[in-house]
Each structure stands twice: as C-alpha cells, then as structure tokens.
Structure 1
Amino acid sequence: MRYETVIGLEIHAQLMTESKMFCSCSTKFGARPNTNICPVCTGQPGVLPVINKKAIELAIKTALALNCKIEPHSVFARKNYFYPDLPKNYQISQYEQPLATGGSIEIEVEGKIKKIGITRVHLEEDAGKLVHKGAERIVGAEESLADYNREGVPLMEIVSEPDIRSPREAAVYTQTLADLLRYLEVCDARMEEGSLRCDANLSIRPAGETKFGVKTEVKNMNSFKAIEKALIAEEKRHIETAEEGGKIIQETRFYDDV
C-alpha cells in the first residue's frame, strides 16, 4: 500500500527586541544566568505586565509578509502548566483570538513552487532554560539548573496548515521562513542559539484518503538538516508500524541527533 505523509509545523521565533514581552528586562543572549530577570518576568505577587509595542509591530510586519489577515482584536490569556522552566506556572500566550490568521508562503522544492498555508501567527512569552546534569532531559538527570534569562523573551509562533507532504518540504519551508524573518529583521533565526525553534506534527494516511491519521509531535530539532532527518525517521516508523498491523499512538517524541 502507498502512503501519503502529512506534516504541519509550528515555528517559534524570538523577536529582535531590546526588552522582554511584558517587562523592561534585557533580551541579550549569553548573559550570566539569572541576571536579566525581575519580579514581572518571574511572576512575583502584585506585579502587572505591560506589553512590548515593538514586539507587536514586528509580529504584524511578519504577518503581512505572510499574506495574513490582521485581526482587529486579539487577546492574551494565561496558559497554565507546571514545569521548572516557568516560575509563574503559567505562560502569557494567545489562542482563541490570535494576532493574525489565514496566510500563505511559497517554497521551491526540486524546481517546483508550492504554496503552504499559514493557520495563524500569534505572540507569547518564552520560557526559561534548563541545563540537565547526567541526562539529556529532566527525567533521569542527577540535577537540573534553571536559567530564567530567557523567561519572558518575546516569542512569535507561526503555525502552518498540514500542507507539507515530505520531510524535505518541511526543511525547505523552515529555511524559507528563516530567510524571510532575517530579511524583515524580525528574528536572527539562529537555531543553534534557540532563537528559531521548530515542532512538527506528522501522520500518514493511505494515498488518496482525505481523513487524517493519528499524529505524533516531534521536538528537539535544532537545525534544518535535523528537521529533515528527524521527520524521515518518524515517517519510516509510521509506515513500518502500519505495514506490520500496529497502532500509532498520539504522543510527543524527541529527536536525538546522535
């Protein structure tokens, strides 16, 4: 049986502002741990966030370049979750009423132009960064160190429609978007520094089928090459599971480049 791969991408881009999303702390990369923090970005009692006007302008600039509709009214809300990189235990983000919706971007793959739909562009604040000793992730680590300098840095999320049909297309889409963000001077798109990050949702379905299959989310892809390699591996796993009569479960998986 022939299968069709269906991929949607969520691109997280740190915006090139001098201060954070809701406070005046510096966004400078590489500062000593926990020196660019304040009561606002660490969520101390009684503080009130004030939105960064420059971040709004950069996000609108991007949305216009992606042919999106700028919504006349957008709303920030608290996304509650508990993890050591988020001292407030909530993230200020947008969901029901984002900044912009319904755009597109063209990519070129093997000499052919393809249009990829953009579902939404919205703003949120970044989380802090954890450094684990003795393991790749917090599970199994001897200890984890928290650096909250990144907490509150303006983050723009660009969500694609599930229009991508191969790992190669996914890598080209991300590269094309990174080039656009650099050209607009919105984000420096340095994946090695974490200023551009990519999460992928991948599923397969029989060729000709219109119903979506069960998807898995793939994280920890820190280069354009890693995006393609990770999705090739996940695509292969899905197809082999289907051919063996197995069942794909919806889950989040992390890519190990080693």
Structure 2
Amino acid sequence: MNTKTIIGLEIHVELATKTKMFCGCANEFGAIPNTNVCPVCLGHPGALPVMNKRAVELALTAGMAFNCQIDRNQKMDRKKYFYPDLTKGYQITQYDKPFAKEGYIELSNGKKIGLIEIHMEEDTGKSNHDEDGKVLMDYNRAGVPLIEIVTKPEMNSPEEAREFVETLASNLRFLGVSDCIMAEGSMRCDVNINIVDLDNNIKTNIAEIKNINSIKAIENALEYEQKRQIELLAKGERGVKETRRWDDELLETVHMRLKETGNDYRFAIEGDIPEISISEEYLKEIKDKIPELPKDKLQRYINDYKMSEYDASQLANDRELAGLFEKTNQIVNDPKITANWILSELSRRLNETEKTPSTMQLSVENFAKLINLAKDNKINNNVAKKLLRDIFESNEDPEKLAKERNLLQISDSNFLASIVDEVLSENKESIDDIKNGKDRAFGYLVGQAMKKTKGKGNPQEINALLKEKIGELE
C-alpha cells in the first residue's frame, strides 16, 4: 500500500515582553500563583484593556521574518467560550483578519512550508491538579501575549515536522521574539495528521494531538500516529475525527474526545480596543531591525569563511555566540581560529559556569587579545588555555598577566640558535639517528631545546633552526 502522510501544525508562542498583552502585570515564568494579576487580566467589570505596543512589534517582526503579507489595518475579536481558565468568559484574539498571512519557512532540503496565518491573542490561565483531585487556578498566565502560527498541511513526515519546529524556534529566539522553552510553556504545539492511501484514494480522518511538551515528543507522537493510521487503512477503516493526547509514559497517543461538530465561539469584534493602524514607516523601522537569520548566516559562514558545516551551524544557530564570533573576529581577523576558540575552550568555560556570552565577565577585547597572543606565537596554546581560565572570571589583560608570570614565548633567533647549538653538541647520536631516517629523534631534540628554555621557546622557531642546522651538518 502506497501512502502519503499529511501534517499541519498550530503553534502558540509567548512573546518576550516584560508585561502582559493588555495590562501592566509582569510577564514572567515561575512567579507565586496569582501574584501577577490585576482587574484587567482577571476580567473585572469595567476594567479596560490597553494594547501592548512591544507585543505588536514582536508579532510584526515574526510575520515579516517569515515572509508574510502584513495587514496594516488590524482589529481584535472576542472568542467566546466558558472554561475556568478564561477569566472574562471570552479570549481576545484575531478571527477573520489576522495581522499576517501567506508566509513560509524553508527547510534544509529547500522545501517551503506555507503559513496560513499568524495572529495575535492573549493566553488563558493555568489549571493545576493537586493530589486530592482538586483543580486550582493560577491566573498569572492570563493575558500573556501570544502569536498563533498556523501552517498549511504541507509536511509529509514526522522528521519534517520536527525540523520545522526546530527551525521556527531557532529563528524566533534569534529574533528575540520568544525564548520558545516548551518545558515552561512559552511554545506549545498541536499537530494535525492524516494518511492518504494513494492506491485507492482513501484517507483517514484527521486526528489532532494535544499536550505535546517537547520537540522530540512531537516527532514521537507523529511517528506513533502515522503507524496507527496506516494500520487503520490496511484494515479498510478510516478512523474518526478526534482529539488525542500524547502520553510520555505509554509512548502512544490516547483518545480524548470526538470532533463531530465544530465549536461555536460566537466571534465578535472586541469593542474595547480600537482598530490598529500600522504605518509603512513603522513597518520599515521594524524590518530594518530584523537581523540576519540562522540559515543565511550559516551559508555566509560556510561560503565566506570556509568553515565546516558543523562549526558554522553551532555559531549560526545561537545569536549570542554568533554575535561574540563576529565581534571577536573583527579583531583577530581569522575566522577559523576564532571559531575554534569559541566552540572549544570558551564554550567549555561557559558550560561549566552556566553563563552566556552576555553574562560572562570576559570582554571581547581581552578574549581577542588572548587569541592573538597564541596566534602570533607569543604564548603557546597550553599557556593560552590556562590564561583563559584565569581571565574568564577576572577579565584581566592576558598580555599583562603573561608578562607578570614570565609566560611569553622566546622568539629571539640568536638566543634560540645558541640553545639549538647546545642541544646538537650534546646529542650527536640523535643527529645520526635522524640521518638514518629515525624521525622520532627529531622530536627528542625539540623537547631538549624546549626544556632548556623552560618551555618558553617558540617551538616553530626551534623546529626551523634544528632543520637548518642539521641540514648544514650533512
């Protein structure tokens, strides 16, 4: 049986604002329940919403970055339904006039996944279930600004869906629109999937899967559901139109409820918020601030800097590391060496201390100076690595520190030539071994010269002098 998998996604993303969508309450994760609340987000009678300008800016940023058509004249609507987490009895959202339509996100294979729309809305509260079976409501999240991204059903495998979400999250983080931490609920994803029997032109009913809390779980849930629905088709069944949930313990999707009829949300215009008009100048101002996105940055690093795809992707997909790389390389002017130091030694320090480039003490100037000291053979790599451990916390001048500790390499040709002469006169057997093709003897001589300089001799200079003088002896 030849089949085709059809997948579409609905993704809610919390916007990285300091305050909520329609009031001045803090937008923060992990606060004591019901402490970031006020009459507006609790839906008290007479409390009026005021639109968060920063939320609109972040939403527009996402829309333009994902190649959408932006509607300059927008309105908000009321989506009416009853549920304990909805304080007003309706949710403020955008119904028939989303601010962004018809965009796309491109996957690594060049396939473009279309976006039906992106619309703005507010989040609801959160239901917490205690051990006694009671449901306790936390309204800190009520009124938090969201965008909902609705894709076209153009993904044809769980792997494509996973890559789409990874790409989306990476871009949103890079844009500063959201941190997209699924474990904290700042990105939530519902997936819709059905299977087409291409031989008989029969397809299963669409299943919507909710409660997916990680990108890996998205892929796992779709793999399970894909297999389940193919088995239905093999038995001549189409299944039912239903909502299912992903169970992380059972590693399977579980039936929640049928979707025999559509919900009647009785949408109406939100009369307390006037129509939003966006000027061309304002749109241009936002567009001009959109940074180079990871995919473009990756190709530039590979093409212009001749980096490996792995190294380039490690930098390009992390806005802070990419920024540090760009600034450091302006001073070092050697992208490969700069990237190697950031991805190896500096990343190790950052991971150990749980810091980021923006929170570490070490300045770009001192970090670049350290790299240049090693690059110019003023200190060897081992010394540079040890110095990095010290200056990472203190942000001291690495060259000054190297001088104080007498760690600078000796590159004086006359001095090193005299050392090499001593080593050769004391190790005539090694010279004979080298002439007889025993290459290890050369390394021994280098080691003896380094020993006499107490490890501070420039190894490249010593190597060159040894080869020159041994050649003269032949």
Identify the TM-score tier after normalising by the shorter chain: over 0.9
Q: Residue type matched to 2:164 in 1?
A: Y
- Residue 57 of structure 1 corresponds to which residue in structure 2? 57
Q: Give 3-state SS (helix, strand or coil) of 1:255's partner.
A: strand
Counterpart mapping for 1:74-93 below 5 A = 74-93=74-93
In structure 2, distance between residues paired with 1:121 and 1:215: 22
Aligned counterpart for 2:160 among listed residues 154, 169, 173: 169
Alpha-carbon shift at residue 172 of structure 1 (Å): 0.7
Equivalent residues of 2:92, 2:122 under 8 A apart:
yes
SS of the equivalent of 1:113 reads coil
In structure 1, what is the equivalent of residue 190 of structure 2?
199
Q: Between the two proteins, what is the percent identity of the paired residues?
A: 51
For residues 230 and 202 of structure 2, the distance between their equivalents in structure 1, rounded to whole angstroms, comes to: 16
Q: Give the secondary-structure state (helix, strand or coil) at the position aligned to 2:28.
A: coil
Deviates more, 1:171-180 or 1:68-77: 68-77
CA distance in 2, matches of 1:207, 1:244: 15
Greater relative contact order (Cα < 8 A, sep 6+): 1
The CA distance in 1 between the partners of 2:25 and 2:200, in whole Å, is 50
Distance apart, 1:122 and its partner CA? 0.6
TM-score normalised to structure 1 length: 0.93
* Corresponding residue of 2:103: 103
Q: 1:248/1:66 Cα in 2 relative to 1: closer, same or farther (>3 Å)?
A: same
Q: In structure 1, give the amino acid aligned to 2:5.
A: T
**Superposition pairs of residues 1-258 of structure 1, within 5 angstroms:** 1-108=1-108, 112-134=109-131, 142-207=133-198, 213-258=204-249
Q: Deviation digits for residues 53-84 of structure 1, max 9, x if unmatched?
A: 11110010010000000012222111111111
Distance 1:210 1:39 in 2: 54
1:157-182 Cα distance to aligned partner (Å, 9 max, x none): 11111110011111110000000000
Aligned-pair distance for 1:216?
Answer: 1.1
Contact 2:182/2:213 (8 A) holds in 1: yes
Q: Is 2:204–2:233's contact at 8 Å kept on the other side of the alignment? A: no
Q: Which sections of structure 1, spanning at least 5 residues, go unmatched? A: 135-140
For 1:170, what is the secondary structure of its paired residue? Answer: helix
1:239 partner SS: helix
Q: Deviations over 1:88-137 (max 9, x none)?
A: 121101120001100011112xxx22110011111000011111135xxx
- Alpha-carbon RMSD across the aligned residues, in angstroms, is 1.5
Structure exhibiting the larger radius of gyration computed from Cα positions: 2
How far residue 50 of structure 1 moved from its aligned partner, in angstroms, is: 0.8
Aligned residue identity for 2:222: L
| SS of structure 2 residue aligned to 1:159 | strand
List runs of 5+ in structure 2 lacking aligned partners. 250-474
Q: What is the deviation of 1:213?
A: 4.7
Q: Which protein has the bigger helix share?
A: 2
Judge conservation of contact 2:5–2:193 (CA < 8 Å) in 1: yes
3-state DSSP of counterpart to 1:124: strand
Change (3 A) 1:210 1:49: farther
State the one-letter code of the partner of 1:115: K
TM-score calculated relative to the size of structure 2: 0.51
Displaced runs of 4+ in structure 1, greater than 3 A? Answer: 208-213
In structure 2, C-alpha distance between the alignment counterparts of 1:242 and 1:84, rounded to whole Å: 39
User: Take 1:245 and 1:209, find their aligned partners in 2: how far apart are those partners?
Assistant: 10
Q: What CA distance in whole angstroms lies between the structure 2 residues aligned with 1:211 and 1:242?
A: 8
